[in-house]
């Protein structure tokens, strides 16, 4: 019996979604797949239902560039309520500890340098980290005590944008794998007042910023879906680009390595090659030769 053919369309590119509060990242991707009737899509970095903001969604060939976007720098604006800690480290969880103490601004600022630079951070119990094949949040929901090891993360900046005795609004820029909820938890414990996140907005993921984003309502509006779609190349914009001719592009697409020539050709590092403004492949340059790791099936 012949296999039923999909009536979904081949869609290649990026959509920078401004995800609303209350929607999971998976639900958001499903909504976009329906809007574009797309065969394949995935997101670059989970946002909790409590959170809003930048959720980059890759379609088709753009899914090959997801790791570069996920590994990029991120920025968050978040509110911490002092006086209580929850089992999820945000307001979606159950309160597990309380305190009558409320911190002074100077006390918070005095501790913030401990959270800058390369630090060790223990992820929240309710996180998407996999343990023996299961997500930590699934194990935690089942009542298991999840043993998550502290891991190295990088916090580039952490500043206070607004302060009151009961709540503080922070802005943070960080590298891959850092948890805002862990910052709230650990600051609260250090001060003995406890704390949890009540509002969170992501304002940047890798090359994508708020100015690039569209809401679901905007994308669903007539004629706007096409405007929201960025090129596959948008996910590679933080990598150096090597321009190649058609013969070289064809060789790369067959998986062959090529010697990069020219005064500006990189001798080493991760780059992507493009022909006629269209990505062909990405890979590592070793001693002047580009070894393709993945190739793109896009017309040029």
Catalytic residue IDs: 48
Could you tell me if 197 and 85 are in contact, meaning their C-beta atoms sit under 8 angstroms apart? no
Q: What is the DSSP string of 98-109?
A: E-S----HHHHH
Q: How many CA atoms lie within 13 A of 17 on its CB side?
A: 34
Q: How far is the C-alpha of 10 from the C-alpha of 19, rounded, in Å? A: 24
Return the DSSP state at 194: -
Q: How far is the C-alpha of 126 from the C-alpha of 204, rounded, in Å? A: 23
Could you tell me if 186 and 116 are in contact, meaning their C-beta atoms sit under 8 angstroms apart? no
CA angle 9, 15, 16 (to 5 degrees): 165
- Alpha-carbon dihedral of residues 78, 103, 163, 51, nearest 10 degrees? 10
Name the nearest CA neighbour of 48 among 202, 194, 175: 202
SS3 state at 3: coil
Q: Where are the beta strands (DSSP E) in 182-251?
A: 195-205, 208-209, 229-230, 241-243
Q: How far is the C-alpha of 85 from the C-alpha of 99, rounded, in Å? A: 9
Alpha-carbon distances, residue 204 vs 5, 171, 223 (angstroms): 38, 12, 26
């Amino acid at each position: 019996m012949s296999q039923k053919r999909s009536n979904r369309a081949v869609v290649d590119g990026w959509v920078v979604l401004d995800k609303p509060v209350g929607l999971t990242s998976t639900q958001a991707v499903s909504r976009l797949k329906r809007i574009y009737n797309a065969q394949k899509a995935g997101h670059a970095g989970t946002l909790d239902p409590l959170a809003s903001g930048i959720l980059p969604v890759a379609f088709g060939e753009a899914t090959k560039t997801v790791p570069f976007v996920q590994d990029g720098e991120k920025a968050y604006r978040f509110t911490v309520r002092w006086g209580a800690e929850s089992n999820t480290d945000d307001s979606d969880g159950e309160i597990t500890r309380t305190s009558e103490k409320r911190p002074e601004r100077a006390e918070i600022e005095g501790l913030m340098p401990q959270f800058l630079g390369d630090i060790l951070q223990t992820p929240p119990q309710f996180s998407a980290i996999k343990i023996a094949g299961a997500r930590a949040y699934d194990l935690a929901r089942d009542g298991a005590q999840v043993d998550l090891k502290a891991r190295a993360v990088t916090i580039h900046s952490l500043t206070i944008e607004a302060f009151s005795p009961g709540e503080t609004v922070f802005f943070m820029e960080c590298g891959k794998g850092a948890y805002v909820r862990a910052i709230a938890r650990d600051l609260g414990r250090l001060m003995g007042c406890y704390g949890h996140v009540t509002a969170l907005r992501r304002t940047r993921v890798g090359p994508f910023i708020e100015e690039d984003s569209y809401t679901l309502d905007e994308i669903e509006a007539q004629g706007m879906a096409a405007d929201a779609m960025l090129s596959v190349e948008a996910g590679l914009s933080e990598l150096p680009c090597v321009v190649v001719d058609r013969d070289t592009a064809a060789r790369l697409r067959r998986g062959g390595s090529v010697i990069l020539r020219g005064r500006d050709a990189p001798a080493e590092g991760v780059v992507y090659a493009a022909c006629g403004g269209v990505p062909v492949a990405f890979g590592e340059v070793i001693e002047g030769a580009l070894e393709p790791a993945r190739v793109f099936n896009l017309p040029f």
